Structure formats: structure tokens, C-alpha cells
Structure 1
Amino acid sequence: MDDFLAARSQMALSLGFHIVFSCIGMVMPFFMAIAHWYWLKTKDPVYKNITKAWSKGVAIFFATGAVSGTVLSFELGLLWPAFMKHAGPIFGMPFSLEGTAFFIEAIALGFFLYGWERFNPWFHWFTGLIVGISGIVSGILVVSANSWMNSPSGFDYVNGQYLHIDPIKAMFNEAWFQQALHMSIAAFAATGFAVAGVHALMIVRKKNPRFHYMAFRIAIVFGAVAAILQPLSGDISAKDVAKRQPAKLAAMEAHFKTEKFAPLIIGGIPDTATKEVNYAIRIPGMLSFMTYEDFNAEVKGLDQIPAKNQPPVAVTHYAFQIMVGLGMAMLALSLLYFTALIKKKKWFGKAWFLKLFVAATPLGFIAVEAGWTVTEVGRQPWIIQGIMRTADAVTPMPGIAYSFYIFTAVYISLSLVVTFMLYRQIKMVPKMYDVAPH
């Protein structure tokens, strides 16, 4: 493995792990706050137990997210020094503000964890809510920095120099709102389905069914609403990509030839040699309509992108198909859930119904990983779209491959430790109820 591939692989590995921790850290505090609110309003002890159980999970993911996020910060400077030399002064503001949000989140989490019976009950609840709000703000700020890489602004690029820097304009670049919206909704959908799936499994196994049913209900409402909204935010993002990054859209859709009445390609195996997509389902004119709201609109293909500026087609296309496919599966399950909630309440006691949500536990996070693959791989060969190539930003330091192997071992170990801690936490849930709700 050469150093360039090793540097990219290490960054991908770090991001792949951190994004799971950060999504859960953004969303779980809101679940916790809802359960806590129900406890304050109803005094039903099961809600207090749910709140305390979830707060311990929040603490675990906060700690692991802090570690993995700190590693990422160092990797940006160590692996991509040329990038940080030029980009740091431009998009550094969202990172510095993210540090402030993280600081507030840490203080609020400390207040919440140790505030039981010490604070006014509603102030205690408010500190938990602040944990969630700070987490969301932190995530949006990081996405703002990433969106700047896709839509660089806030500077003039003249003769290789970055002049007239405006960090505010850089932070609120043309892509930040679409990406922040899409990522935030994805975090709620992924975390909602993951948490609901774990509790559904416990219900199927008849482990504290009332506790897990009430926890399932809170989590799946968040997840289902987010999954229904996600295609709308995805449509907004795709239209934005078509305007600013036509090469990425062409790779996402494996759209090799510029044409009007362009078909939407579902599935298939791209063949870059023949410029064809084999075994795909094609819906005539649909890509033109979805992109420009006109069936006869011309969609730019890879044939108009110089070969040296084309992203890897197969990886981008497969990741995009996985993201969309899993998103549609979660949408279907969400509609099924609301059907049960409104008309078929007896389904909640059926094993087949609960097992669908158990099976869906990892789908949201797989979709999130696939989506970030589309975002990052689809931008290649650029680290700053149209300005700096990724190959020009990598460190000249040798031996990056060994660093990649070490970090791989560290992250695998970290994931095993987190899994073990969560498993123990789930096993320690107090056995307060042994009858499923009706």
C-alpha cells in the first residue's frame, strides 16, 4: 500500500468510526430528554429508568466520540499539511465554534449525569436538552467545514494564492444548508432505528417488555419521522450537487453520456471501459425530471468531464445505490409503523412486526456510511473542489501505511470495548415490569 492510499484509508477509517459516535451523540440526548419529560409529567418510574439507562449510553458515546474526534483533528494536520496550510485560515471558524459547542455539551452532560436529586427537576431536564442542542450544533458546524470542501467560497484564488479571506462566507457556503439538513435528518433516522431495533429485540425476548416497549416507542417515532423526511432532503441535496458538482452526480448515477430525457438508473454494474451500465433498471426521462424538473432537460455526463477529473464511478455508484435503497427500506418500515399506530395496534404484539425493526437496526448507519462515501469519493480527485487535488495535499512523510495498520487495530479495539460496554448496560436494565403493554 503506497502512502497516498494509506493516508486516504486512515482518514476514511477514522471518519467511518467517528460518524457513528457523533450521530448517536447528536440524537440520543433528545431521546433522553423526551423520556425525562414524560417522567416529570407522569411520575411513571419506567420513564425515569429509561432516562437513566439512556444517559449512560450517551456518556459512553460522548467519551468515544471525543477521542475519535480529537484523532481526526490531528490527522487533518498530520496527513494533509498542504491542505491545512491553505484551508485552515479559511474554514477554521466552524471548527473553532464546534470546539465551543463541544465544551458546552461536556458541561451540560456533567450537570445532567450528576444532577439527579441535586437540581430543580426542570433545570435538570433542561441541562439534558442542552446536551442535545449542543450536539446538533456541533455536527452542523463540522458539516459546514466539509461542505466548504465541496463548495469552496470566502476567498479569491489568484496565481495559487488564497486572498481576501472571508471566514463567514466560507462557513455559510452554498452547500452548507443542504448538507447539514441531510446529515442531521440522517442522524435521527439512523439512531432512531438502531435504538428502536435493540429495544424491539428485548421485547421479542420478553426481557422487561414494558420498559423496552416504551423506549421503543420514543426512538421509533424520531426514526420514522426522519426516514420519511429524508428523501425530501436527499432531493434538495441532489439538485444542489447537479448544479455545483456535475461530475459527482454523473458518478452517482453512472451517467456516462450527456443526453436529454436522461434515464434514472437503478442498480446495475458500471463498465467504465464500454461506458455502459449492465443489468440496470432504467426509468426513461426520470433523471432529467428529478434533477431539473423537466423530462427533456439535458443532464451532463462523464463524457464532458476530463478523465483526470472524474471520480471513481463504481464506488460512488454502488455507495449511492446502497444509501438510497436502505433509505427506501426505512421509509417503508416507517409507513408500516404509522399504519400500526393508527389502524393496526395489535401488530405491536406480533413477533413478525417487531422482528422487522430488529432486522433494520443497522440499516441507518450503513446508509450514513454509504452517504459519506458518496460525498467524499464523489469529490475526488479534489480535496477542495476545483482548487486543490487530494494528491497535492498529502504529507510527504513516509511510513503512513504502518500508521494506518496501527489505527485500524486501535479502532477495532475501541469498537469492541464500546460494544461490550453497551451490552453490559443493556443487561443491567432493572427488571421492573414483566408484562407487555396492551
Structure 2
Amino acid sequence: MDDFIAARSQMALSLGFHIIFSCIGMVMPFFMAVSHYKWLKTNDEVYKNLTKAWSKGVAIFFATGAVSGTMLSFELGLLWPKFMEHAGPIFGMPFSLEGTAFFIEAIALGFFLYGWNKLNKWFHWFTGMVVGVSGLASGILVVAANAWMNSPAGFDFVNGKYLNIDPIQAMFNKAWFSQALHMCLAAFTATGFAVAGVHALMILRNQNKEFHLKAFKIAAIFACIGALLQPLSGDISAKDVAKRQPAKLAAMEALYKTEKPAPLLIGGIVNEKNKTVKGAIKI
């Protein structure tokens, strides 16, 4: 394995690990906030216990996501130094803002975890909402940096140098909205069904049914709404890729020959030698 493939493999593994915890960190605070709100409105102790249980999970996943995210920031500089040398000044703003959102999230989480019976009950709930909003903002800002790689903007390339840098235009590039929307909905859908699945298992095992049923309902509602909206965001994102990066769409669909109309494939096994896809459902 050469250095290039090794670097890409390490980056893929690190990103694959980090995105699990970042998605949970983006979404679970909203589950926690809904449960907390229901306790404040109904005074049902089950919702209070659920909020405290979920807050412990949020804290653990936040810490894990922070560590794995820090590792990724080091990898960007160590594995791709030339890229960061040129691109860093252009899309550095969303990374900086993401760091700001991260620290706001950390401070708010501290207030929430240690604010029971110490803070005004509605201010305490508000700090939980801040955890969710800042976590979601962190994800959107990081996606903005990734979107810039797919749709570079905000600079002029003159004689091998990047001039007239506009960080606002770079951050809000043409790919930003479709990618951010798709990522956020994916996070809500995946996390919602995962959390609902855990509580559904506990219900089947007859373990504290009332507690797990309330938890299941909250998570499932978020997941179902996300699942309904996700195909729409996926369609927007795919059309954007088809418009700006047709070669990438062809690679995504394993389309080796130019065709019109070209089918979209579901499943199948790619044969790189013969440049065919066997067993795929064509649409």
C-alpha cells in the first residue's frame, strides 16, 4: 500500500468512526429537550428520569465526538499539508465557527448536567436546547467546508496563487445547502431509529415499559419525520451533483458508458474487469 492509499484509508476510517458520534451528538440533545419540556408541562417523573438518562448519553457521545473530531483536524494537517496550505485560508471560516459552536455546546452541556435544582427550571431547559442547536450548527458548518471541496468558490486562481478570497462566498457555496440539508435529515433519521430500536427492545423484554415507551415515541417521531423528508433532500442533492459533477454521479452509479437516458441503479455487484454491474435494479 502506497502512502496516498494509506492516507486515504486512514481518513476514511477516522471519518467513519467520527460521524457515528457526531450524528448522535447533533440529534440526541433534541430528544432530551423534548422529554425535559414534557416533564416541565406535565410534572410526570418518568419524563424527568428519561431526560436525566438521555443527558448522560449525550455527555458520553459529546466527549467521544470531541476526541475523534480533534483527531480529524490533526489528520487534515498531517496527511494533506499542501491542500490545507492552499485551501485553509479559503474555507477556514466555517472551521473556526464550528470551533465556536463546539465550545458553546460544551458550556451549555455543563450548565445542563449540573444545573438540576440549581437553575431556574426554564433556563435549565433552555441550556439543553442550546446544546442541540449548537451541535446542529457544528455539523452544518463542517458540511459547508466539505461542500466547498465539491463546489469551490470565493477566490480567484491567478498564476498559481489564490487571490481575492471571499470567505462568505466560500462557505455558502452552491453545494452547501443541499449537502447540509441531507446531512441533518440523515442524522435525525439514523439516530432516531437507532434510539427507538434500543427502547423497543427494552419494551419487548418487559423492562420498565412506561419509561421505554415514552422514550420510543419521542425518538420514533423524529425518525419518521426525517425518513419522510430524506428522499426529497436526496433528490435535491443528487440533482445538484448531476448538474455540477456529472462524472461523480456516473461514478456513484457505476456507469461505465455514456448513455441517454442513463438508469439509476439499486444494489448490484460491480465487476471492474468487465465494467458491468450484475444483479442491479435499474430505474
Pair in the same fold by TM > 0.5: yes
Which residue does 1:213 correspond to in 2? 213
Deviations 1:192-237 (A, max 9, x none): 0010000011111111111001000000100111011100000000
> Which residue of structure 2 lines up, in the alignment, with residue 4 of structure 1?
4
Partner amino acid, structure 2, of 1:73: S
1:247 corresponds in structure 2 to: 247
Per the normalisation by structure 2, the TM-score is 0.97
In 2, Cα distance between equivalents of 1:146 and 1:278? 32
| Structure 1 residue 187, shift from structure 2 partner | 0.3
1:134 partnered with 2:108: no
Match for residue 80 of structure 2? 80
SS of the residue 1:157 aligns to: strand
Quote the residue 1:282 is aligned against.
282
Aligned residue for 2:235?
A: 235
What displacement does 1:267 show? 2.2
Unaligned runs of 5+ in 2: none
Equivalent position of 1:425 in the other structure: none
Distance in 1, matches of 2:65 and 2:266, equals 35
Summarize the alignment of residues 363-378 of structure 1 with structure 2, pairs less than 5 Å apart.
Answer: none
Partner of 1:160: 160
| Consecutive unaligned residues in structure 1, runs of 5 or more | 284-438
Pick which of 234-243 and 249-258 moved more: 249-258
Q: Which moved more, 1:159-168 or 1:233-242?
A: 159-168
Moved more, 247-256 or 94-103: 247-256
The structure-2 alpha-carbon separation of the partners of 1:131 and 1:158, relative to structure 1 and needing over 3 Å to count, comes to same
Residue 14 (structure 1) shift: 1.0
1:40-59, aligned counterparts within 5 Å? Answer: 40-59=40-59
- Describe the superposition over 1:359-391 as per-residue Cα deviations: whole angstroms up to 9, x where unpaired: xxxxxxxxxxxxxxxxxxxxxxxxxxxxxxxxx
CA distance in 2, matches of 1:71, 1:273: 37
Amino acid at match of 1:155: F
For residues 38-65 of structure 1, the C-alpha deviation after alignment (integer angstroms, 9 at most, x for no partner) is 0000000000000000000000011111
1:33 counterpart = 2:13: no
Which whole-Å CA distance do the structure 2 matches of 1:271 and 1:132 have between them? 44
1:19 aligned residue: 19
Q: How do residues 287-306 of structure 1 correspond to structure 2 at under 5 angstroms?
A: none
Q: CA deviation at 1:263?
A: 2.4
1:183 matched to 2:156: no
1:95 matched to which residue of 2? 95
Using the TM superposition, give the Cα deviation of residue 80 of structure 1 relative to its aligned residue in structure 2, in angstroms: 0.7
Pairwise mapping of residues 395-414 of structure 1 onto structure 2 (< 5 A)?
A: none
Distance apart, 1:72 and its partner CA: 0.8
Letter in 2 for 1:6: A
1:269 to partner: Cα distance: 2.4
Please say which structure displays the higher CA radius of gyration: 1
Q: TM-score, normalised by structure 1?
A: 0.63
Alpha-carbon distance in 2 for matches of 1:151, 1:13: 24
Residue 66 of structure 2: aligned partner = 66
Higher relative contact order (CA 8 A, sep 6+): 1
Distance 1:202 1:278 in 2: 40
- Which residue matches 1:337? none
1:197 is aligned to 197
Structure 2 CA distance for aligned equivalents of residues 152 and 197 of structure 1: 40
Aligned equivalents of 1:248, 1:42: Cα separation in 2: 51
RMSD of the TM alignment (CA)?
A: 1.1
